[in-house]
Structure 1
Amino acid sequence: MTDRHDEHSNLSNPQKIATSLFAGACAGAVAKTAIAPLDRAKINFQVRAAQFSYRRCFKFLKESYINEGFISWYRGNSANLVRVIPSAAINFAAHEQWKRILGTDKHVKTPGRRFISGSLAGVTSATLTYPLDLARARMAVTNKTVYNNLFSVFLSIFRDEGATALYRGALLSIIGVLPYSGCVFFTYETLKHLRTDYDPHRPINKTERMIFGAVAGLVGQTASYPFDVIRRRLQTAAVIRPDESSLRALATTRKIIREEGIRRGLYKGVTMNWLKGPISVGVSFMTFDTLLRLIRRSSLFPQN
C-alpha cells in the first residue's frame, strides 16, 4: 500500500514488517475511534428486528447520551481497540507480505493478484483476532449489568458457553472478509495506480489518499455487508436472541430473509455503513500511508 518508490526501498523485510505493523496499528486506532458512536448504533440495529433509519439511529444515540452519558457512545470501543489495533496492524503488514510473496505489481500490473493479496491479508487478520471481534460485539449490544469489561466477556463466555463459542460465526467472518478486504485493497491500490499513471510527476497527497480510501471503503462495505449482519447475529444471539443461540450461519440467514427480507434484513443498516465506512477506511489508509512514509524516511530504521 505504499507508493512505488517506497515499495522498492532498501529496508530489510523484518524492518518493513515492523514499520507496517506500527503504522497499521495507529491507523486502525485512529479510524475506529473516529466512527465508534456510529458503529455502536449500527450494531444495535443489525442484531434486532427494528427497522433501520437515520432518525432511529440518532434517536438511539440521543437516548444513550441522556440515560448513560457521553461515554456510552464509546461502550465497547475499548474492546474494539483491543481488536482493531492488532487486526489493523496484521492486516496492513500481511498485505505488504502477500504482495511480496505473490509478486503483485512488481514488474507489470497484476490486478488479479492485487485482489488476491488483499483478500489473503484480510483472512490472516480475521483468523487471528476473531475472539476480540466477538467480545466487542457482545459489549456493544449490552449494558454494564451484563458485562463490566472485556475480561468479563471472555469469562462469561468460557463459563456459560464454552471455549468454542469464542469462534462462533468465525467461518462466516473469514468468508465475508474475502470480498471485503479484496475489494478494499484492490480499489485503493488501483486508484493509486490510475492517479500515478495520469500524473507521474506529482506525489499522491493526503486528500487524494483519503478520497481513494473512502471509495475503497464504500465498495468493500457494500460487497460484504450481508456477511457482517449474519456474523453479528451469530455473535450476539446468546445475549439478544437466546432462541437463536443454537442456529448456525445458514439457518440464521434463512431466518433473516424469511422474517425481514433481503433489503430490510441482510442489508439493514447498510446506509450507515455508507456513511461511516468511507470515513473509517479513508482515515485508515491516509494515516497508514502517511505514517509509514514518515517512519521509513526517518533515521529510526537505517537502510542497508
Structure 2
Amino acid sequence: MHASSNELLLPERADLDRHGAGLVLIVDDVPDNLSLLHDALDESGYTVLVATSGEAALQRAGQALPDIVLLDAVMPGMDGFEVARRLKSRPDTAHIPIVFMTGLTETEHVVAAFQAGGVDYVTKPIRPREVLARIAVHMQGARAARQARNALDAFGHATMAIHIGSGRAVWQTPLARKLLQAYFGAAEEGPVPEQLLQWVQAQSALAAQGLEPKPLALVREARQLVLNLQERTSDEDWLIVMREVSDTAVVEAMMQAFRLTLREAEVLYWVVKGKTNRDIGDILGSSPATVKKHLEHVYEKLGVETRTAAANLAMGKIGRLA
C-alpha cells in the first residue's frame, strides 16, 4: 500500500466492499503508519480508506461514512482534534466512533481527545494487534447502535441522542430533524437549540437524583411537540423521544358544533387550555386585540359572556377536550 493511493477518487459507499469486517478510515500524515495499519486491517478483512490531511479526512468521511475512524491527533494544518469536532458537528458523521492515535500521553491531550468526541485512544508507536482489538470492541457497539437507529428510521420514530457536554446531537432520525426545524428553527448542523439543551441538562440532573424527568411541551398552532428524556446511552449522552400531538380534529369539531370560523375555533380551543389572550396571540401569530375580537364573536355565537362560561360549554359539548 502506498500513500499516493490516498489521492484516488473514492467510489460511492454502495460500491465499496461491505462483506468484510467493516469500513475503516485511517487518517495520518506519516506514510509508514498508514502502510502498517492498512496491511494489518486489510489482512483482518476490513475495507480500508486513507487520508493524509484533516481536509481529506472530512471529505472521505462525508462521502463514504466509515464504520470507524482511526485519527492521528497531531497533523500539519487541521489537527485531529479539529477533525473530530467537525465530524461530530455534522448529522451524517456524528455517530461514527473515533479512535485517536497519538504519541501525546499527557493528561491534557488525552482529555482533549475525549472532549473532541473520541471514544478511545492508542499511543504511538502503533501496535497493530492492540488497534485491531480496540476497533473490534467499538465497531461492535457502533453496529448495534446503527441497527437500532435504522429500525427507528424505518418506523418513522422521532428520536435523537444529545451529548450534554458539547451541546450537540450525536445522532438523530430524519423525523426528529424535521421536528427540530419546525418547532425550534434549528439548523441541520451545529449545536442543539439552547432551550432544548437546558431542558436536557435540567432533566438529567433530576434523573441523577432518582427523580422522574419532566417532559417538554412546545406549542405550534393546534399542534404540540412533546419531548421525553428516555435513557442515558453513555456518561453524557441522553436519548430523547419526540411525539407530535395534533388536536386539529377537536378544533374542527368545535367549528361544526358552534358554527365558528377556523380562527374562532382555534381561539376557543386555547381558551379551554387556559391560555391568556397574549398567549393565544403568540401561538396564532396575532395581537391580543385581534384575539379579543375573535373571542367576542365566540361569546356571541355560544350565547355566553365570560371566558369561563365559554370554556365550560365547549368542554361539555366536545368531551375530548377534558
Q: Which structure shows the bigger proportion of residues in helix conformation?
A: 1
Q: Which structure shows the bigger proportion of residues in strand conformation?
A: 2
TMscore range, shorter length:
under 0.3
TM-score (norm 2): 0.27
Which protein shows a greater Rg? 2
